[in-house]
Amino acid sequence: MVDLFAAIDETNDGEFLSFIVCDNSSLIRNISILPNGFTHMTEVYPRHLRRSIINNLDLNGVTLAFCVKFDIPKVRDILSNTKLSRLPHSRIQRKVSYRMVSAVNKMYSKFLLKRGLHVQDLKFEVDNRIVSNFLRDGGLKCGKPNNAHKIADCLAYANLKNWKVRGNIEEWQDDFRDKFITRLKNDFNAKK
């Protein structure tokens, strides 16, 4: 069984989410191109180095990444303008957690099953408390940001800037967010 590293990151505005699962050799290969002390792309100066980092990323091999245009603020606005806004926060949290973990499972199930793993076997590096809470409430393990998270941060930044990254990357656009919201609304409208 292969050891895999997983991470989730988001752009500051929550417009894009990036998900990455990779093996140790992919992680080492990509971490080696980052400057010493790297934590976030927005802290890399001079700015032209950011483009250089993205151009040198190589997410081939035992790696699968997703760039998702989710737009967290828009999701909040849509949900706050529906009858869902009157429901208890904990109930909404449980449903969002369920939908988020279902999406992560859909992203990675085939990739992981080929390696004898399930999404629950991974420990996701996350630096956002809200995202971490959703994942934990949905039954996934979370940990502090480390090297896999640095790569996820680069990927989220590249997606925000519309810069291409080489490798096994799938992009999910607005239709993913719209389906997510529709499923969430349907969850609450379903007869109990």
CA distance 21 to 64: 6
Domains of the chain (ranges, CATH numbers): 4-189 (3.30.420)
pLDDT level of residue 132 (50, 70, 90 thresholds): very high
The 3 state secondary structure assigned to 139-180 is CCEEECCCHHHHHHHHHHHHHHHCCCCEECEEEECHHHHHHH
Of residues 185 and 162, the one with the higher pLDDT is: 162
Question: Which residues 6+ apart lie within 8 Å of 79 measured at CB?
Answer: 85, 92, 181, 184
pLDDT level of residue 63 (50, 70, 90 thresholds): very high
The neighbouring-strand residues paired with 183 are: none
First vs last C-alpha separation in the chain:
41
Of residues 112 and 12, the one with the higher pLDDT is: 112
CA distance 127 to 14: 13
pLDDT level of residue 1 (50, 70, 90 thresholds): low
pLDDT tens for 77-126 read 777 777 777 777 788 788 888 888 999 999 999 999 999 999 999 999 99
> What average pLDDT does range 126-132 have in this prediction?
90
Q: Counting every residue, how long is the chain?
A: 192
CA distance 144 to 45: 25
pLDDT level of residue 189 (50, 70, 90 thresholds): confident
**pLDDT(138) > 70:** yes
Which residue, 134, 136, 14, is CA-closest to 75?
14
Return the pLDDT at 94.
Answer: 85
Return the pLDDT at 175.
Answer: 83
pLDDT level of residue 134 (50, 70, 90 thresholds): confident
**pLDDT(76) > 80:** no
Specify the residue for token string 């502090």: 144
